[in-house]
Amino acid sequence: MTSELKLDANQQEQIKLIIAEQGAKLQAMRDQRMANNDKKLTIEERKALMQKRNEEKKATDAKLKAILTPEQFKKMKENEAVTREKMREARASRKGSAEDSGNQPQE
């Protein structure tokens, strides 16, 4: 991120703190979810969890936007979109591979 966005030392320090804070919050949410692992989420619970994640993301983006230049922020969002797409493709290929291997006849 530092080299791609050409962050200065001050930006690096500020962003490092924001990312650490975000990571801790996400980990706490994961830990809470894992503590209730035996329980399936209802549709309402899933929606509430997704909404909470989205609110956290918006808050983090607002903090980053205050630190980054408009060009840096735009580049960061573009990088996120590329990463998200790669993850989607990887997930789809894993799903396709699992379905393919599950449909093979046994000899």
pLDDT above 90 coverage of the chain, percent: 62
pLDDT at site 52: 92
- DSSP three-state, residue 75: helix
Exposed e or buried b per residue across 60-73, where buried means at least 16 C-beta atoms within 10 angstroms of its C-beta:
bbebbeebbeeebb
pLDDT at site 68: 96
pLDDT bin (cut points 50, 70, 90) of residue 99 is: low
Whether 57 has a pLDDT exceeding 80, the answer reads yes
Report which residue type is found at 18. I
Q: Give the tokens for residue 89.
A: 């493709």
Q: Give the tokens for residue 74.
A: 């735009």
**Dihedral, CA atoms, 67, 70, 71, 76, nearest 10 degrees?**
60
